[in-house]
Amino acid sequence: MKGQGTGWERQRKKVRNFWRKAVIGLDPAVAIVFIVVGLPVAGGLALAAFSEYLKHRRQIATLQGASDKREIEQLRERVRELEQRVETLEAIVTSPEFQIFRERMKQIRAEAEKALPSTQQPSTLPFPQDAEKQTQRS
């Protein structure tokens, strides 16, 4: 029993010998077939998978680009509408009719201030409840 070692050591030697025979003891013809046939096949499969991945990425980018283009066009249309509204408001504010309206409002306010006793002031706030709060503070 000398030199045989324990059961664990024997099992370890068997496993080590198996791998040595499997790797080193590989028949050269099998190794050549594996290198000549197996590696190109594996490489071709990897290349095909990578090209499908790139094709998928291009499709996603195209779809995202289309949605971005639609969104950009919608935003441009919104800007055009807002520009038209601003132009309309500018035309109203700068028009002579609006200036006349403002002058007339100033005249009406001045007449109202003259008609009211000096202790009461007209409400310049837009809502009546705000005017009441202001008179309560005074």
Please report, for residues 53, 72, 112, 114, the alpha-carbon distance to residue 121 in angstroms, rounded to integers and kept in the order given: 77, 53, 9, 10
Answer whether 75's CB lies under 8 Å from 83's CB. no
Give the mean pLDDT of the chain.
Answer: 79
| pLDDT score of 66 more than 50 | yes
Give the dihedral sign, CA 97/103/108/109: positive
Average pLDDT rounded to a whole number, residues 98-110: 88
| pLDDT score of 27 more than 80 | no
Lookup result for tokens 């408001």: 89
The answer to pTM > 0.85 is: no
SS3 letters for 43-88?
A: HHHHHHHHHHHHHHHHHHHHHHHHHHHHHHHHHHHHHHHHHHHHHH
**Angle in degrees, CA 100, 101, 102, rounded to 5:** 90
| pLDDT score of 51 more than 90 | yes
Position 134 scores a pLDDT of 56
| pLDDT score of 101 more than 80 | yes
Confidence of residue 72 (pLDDT cuts 50, 70, 90): confident
Position 76 scores a pLDDT of 94
Lookup result for tokens 């590696």: 39
C-alpha–C-alpha distance, residues 86 and 78, integer Å: 12
C-alpha–C-alpha distance, residues 113 and 92, integer Å: 28
